[in-house]
Amino acid sequence: DVFKLFVINVFDFISINFFQLRVINIFDFIGTNLFQLCVINLFDFIRIDHFRGFSAYWEIPASEPTAQNGRWAQSPGSELFVTLSRRFAGLPFIAEDLGVIDAEVRELKREFAFPGMTILQFAFGAEKSKHAPHLHVPHSVAYTGTHDNNPVLEWFRSESSEHEREA
């Protein structure tokens, strides 16, 4: 079988906060029926890119020329997922949990039983990488790379180390 995957960028949701709307109101605006028709019924899985943004996001004052003087701001967290889980049984979300992931993000993932991700291209560069195949945990999805990486063959040919190619 071929699975269909849809990627939602969390910043599309979070940016609504800057206009003084709550994330939860997005579904009042577009309607959960439209969400079901356009996303839930068309795709087997929905990967939420930048999932950590549902726990906290980096807020930067509009007057700042760079992101350096930003701060972590709390996101609505589970509100969106509670609303969706009331309407749809078994949310098919995959949480992109790469990068700096804190206890709150892990708890949010656990609360809704969302699988996380492992990336094979990250598996062989560092010792004891959680991405090494023998360290993959149950309830996770393995990808060869991400949209930030070269495709795996190009990575192997031009970016991998001799140690990585031997592994």
In the numeric block, which tokens belong to residue 157?
């040919």
79 is catalytic: no
Assign residue 80 a region (left: φ > 0; alpha: ψ between -120 and 50; beta: otherwise): alpha
Dist CA 8 CA 48 (whole Å): 5
Tell me the H-state helices in 6-161: 10-14, 25-30, 32-35, 79-87, 103-111, 152-158
Render pLDDT for 48-89 as a digit per residue (tens, 0 to 9): 888 888 888 888 888 989 989 988 888 877 887 887 788 777
- Candidates 1, 127, 148, 162; catalytic one: 148
* Predicted confidence band of residue 17 (pLDDT cuts 50, 70, 90): very low
pLDDT exceeds 60 at position 136: yes
pTM of the prediction? 0.74
* Predicted confidence band of residue 111 (pLDDT cuts 50, 70, 90): very high
Provide the mean pLDDT of the chain.
Answer: 77
12 is catalytic: no
- Candidates 44, 59, 79, 96; catalytic one: 96
The CA-based dihedral angle spanning residues 46, 104, 121, 118, taken in that order and rounded to the nearest 10 degrees: -60
* Predicted confidence band of residue 160 (pLDDT cuts 50, 70, 90): confident
- Candidates 49, 59, 104, 164; catalytic one: 49
pLDDT at 108: 94
